[in-house]
Structure 1
């Protein structure tokens, strides 16, 4: 199935900061070439407002996202599962590509602490896109 687009699931505990920023970057930089999901093992009530502000500074609006509970269906439907500090609470399925991104948690941090996390996520997303979609679309 060469026409099937790859799918990436970003997982962190609250699905309010890192995973939402990563999903925002991937949707922005990957366009419609890669399917994007995010979830959390213990989702927060809302996206971290500082994460929203940090992404707004680079022209990406993540206010449409809503923290979601991590489901086995979401993991099963994804080709790549990227965890960000959720430890053993993330389900594991054979045959999936897993990466654990060690990133500081933006929860409770000010904008000056969140900007470097945002920028580190962008660097990792650019590398991920190059691996998943190496051929530029014509």
Structure 2
């Protein structure tokens, strides 16, 4: 059975897209039955070009990724999520829609790389470091025995990852 993971950030243009792309890429590479999605409460309508660049430089195909509303995943015909991860503090503080199936929720906060100092070069470095940090946590998630974990055990494991 596929484990669906929804990654949220307010504008769904950078950190959540990095998470979605990294988790899908790593899951495919490791042969894990995990599918990531991303969304935001106030989607910006476009992907941050520095996020696209960081993913492309890492050899990750970004075709098909887009900025979208979390409302798509609260609809009756949406895929059932097992895990919902917020990656920005503002999304974590918002009241989320009801997610069918009562998924496990966790906050893995990352600083906004689009606010990095140093002009375009500084932003490129910040996006690459954020991509790497998100990728590291996604690797830890993929090492969990998702098919056999209870929601309580999964909650504990995901919280432990957030503290590492």
Work out the CA distance in 2 between the residues paired with 1:64 and 1:76.
Answer: 17
Partner of residue 123 from structure 1, selected from 136, 151, 157: 136
Work out the CA distance in 1 between the residues paired with 2:145 and 2:4.
Answer: 9
Q: Secondary structure at the match of 1:118?
A: helix
- Counterpart of 1:19 in structure 2 is 16
Which stretches of structure 1, 4 residues or more, deviate above 4 A after TM superposition? 132-135
- Counterpart of 1:82 in structure 2 is 85
Distance 1:114 1:133, change over 3 A: same
Maintained 8 Å contact 1:9/1:36: yes
State the TM-score, normalizing by the size of structure 2: 0.72
Larger RCO (CA under 8 A, 6+ residues apart): 1
State the TM-score, normalizing by the size of structure 1: 0.84
Q: How many residues align?
A: 132
Q: Over aligned residues, Cα RMSD in angstroms?
A: 2.3
Maintained 8 Å contact 2:20/2:38: yes
Q: Which ranges of structure 2 fall in alignment gaps of 5 or more residues?
A: 117-122, 149-164
Work out the CA distance in 2 between the residues paired with 1:123 and 1:61.
Answer: 19
Which structure has the greater CA radius of gyration? 2
Q: Which ranges of structure 1 fall in alignment gaps of 5 or more residues?
A: none
1:91 Cα deviation from its structure 2 partner: 2.9
**Which structure has greater helix proportion?**
2
